[in-house]
Structure 1
Amino acid sequence: MKKLMTFTIMAIVFTVLSACGGGKTYKPVAINEETDKCEICNMQVKDDAFAVQLTTKDGKTYKFDDLGCMNEWKQKNGTDNIGASFVRDYNNKEWITYEEASYVYDASLKSPMAYGVYSFKSKSDAQSFIDEQKKGTLMTAADLKSHSWKQNTDMMKNMSGHGHDENAHSTTDANGTSGDMKGKH
């Protein structure tokens, strides 16, 4: 009888804890290029490899056009209320969780706001990119916590002379080819 009572109480406690959000699942939401604006720089968020987002524990989703902008949001708002953060694989735009992704940083890598950080689904994909480009530092989400997050000001000046100009978005593809991101970002 005691074992049955103990089991029943444990089952009730587990059910209550699960219902209180312990098992909440967060998923990335689609990017709508018509309406989505970066929460930091107010630029259009393109449905591309640079789009990132986070969802708070209360269900509010914030979208960003560059991983550096999401970092700036975290610095301003803290991370205690974040339920999940998502980045895109540079190779195929697949959504992956921020913590599980591998990252490549190099100041010369072009990203929408010139932070130079690309995300990859796997460490081997990130390393392959570094090997192909012959530049970059392999990083993890933990490494990004202490990353300097400086924009490449020379790149920003060359793109438009102003960090938040819609015409300033450009990128370098995996083959090192530069291109205007307007309409592609």
Structure 2
Amino acid sequence: MKKGLAVLMIMFVVAALVGCGQKKYAAQAINEDVNVCAVCNMQVKDGAYATQIVTKDGRSIKFDDIGCMNKWKTENGMDQIGMEYVRDYNDKSWVEYEKASYVYDPSIRTPMAYGIVSFKNKKSAESYMKDQGVGALLSADDLEKHAWEQSMDMHGMDNHEHIEEDSGHEQMHGDGDAEHGEMNMSSNSGH
């Protein structure tokens, strides 16, 4: 009788584990020494703009800007995605993409000039818009219809390097092949 009860208990536990909802895909830490954006090949800073996709097989694909993450999804599809994460602009905590609130304005400085910052809740996003005096509040659903254009005023025009000091990080972006993140490090003399 005890053996039968033990087998029944084991079967119950296994069934409960198999049937208990979705597998969790946890965000993975950023390592600035080795992590580069999967789209533009720029260094991924451990800051407010970092995003990542955790694939169904547990691989973490990191991006330096939410616009790069969107480009990757457009090119690779959604089939292999387990979970998408963005960072809260204020405390840098990981937030599930679908649950975050977003603020967009072309004047918002982001690493690849997509002008979108993310927040863990709507209240924080609205507070940011009030403090900055700019921005449109967006949800994850709104981002599906977003134009995803880079601000040319801020992203490497006329072969001049662009240095960005935002959120305590200094980031350099040069003119070059924006698709591949190659920087044009040539002298600015004569321009």
Supply the distance in 2 between the matched residues of 1:74 and 1:16 (Cα, whole angstroms).
Answer: 34
Supply the distance in 2 between the matched residues of 1:143 and 1:17 (Cα, whole angstroms).
Answer: 36
2:164 to 160, 170, 180: 170
- 1:112: which partner in 2? 111
Amino acid at match of 2:164: S
Alignment of 1:25-64 (within 5 A): 25-64=24-63
Structure 1 pair 16–179 and aligned structure 2 pair: CA distance change class (3 A)? closer
Query: Given that residues 87 and 95 in structure 1 are in contact (C-alpha distance below 8 angstroms), is that contact kept between their aligned partners in structure 2?
Result: yes
State TM-score, norm by structure 2.
0.77
Comparing both structures, which one devotes a greater share of its residues to helix?
A: 1
- 2:74: which partner in 1? 75
| Structure with the greater alpha carbon radius of gyration | 2
* Unmatched runs of 5 consecutive residues or more in structure 1: 1-7
- 1:5: which partner in 2? none
Query: Given that residues 113 and 169 in structure 1 are in contact (C-alpha distance below 8 angstroms), is that contact kept between their aligned partners in structure 2?
Result: no
Number of residue equivalences: 164
State TM-score, norm by structure 1.
0.79
User: Post-superposition shift, 1:135?
Assistant: 0.7
Q: Which runs of 4+ in 1 moved over 4 A?
A: 11-18
* Unmatched runs of 5 consecutive residues or more in structure 2: 1-7, 173-191
User: Post-superposition shift, 1:58?
Assistant: 1.4
Identity of aligned residues (%): 46
C-alpha root-mean-square deviation of aligned residues, in Å?
Answer: 2.6
Supply the distance in 1 between the matched residues of 2:52 and 2:74 (Cα, whole angstroms).
Answer: 15
Structure 1 pair 39–20 and aligned structure 2 pair: CA distance change class (3 A)? farther
Structure 1 pair 52–76 and aligned structure 2 pair: CA distance change class (3 A)? same
Supply the distance in 1 between the matched residues of 2:20 and 2:35 (Cα, whole angstroms).
Answer: 28
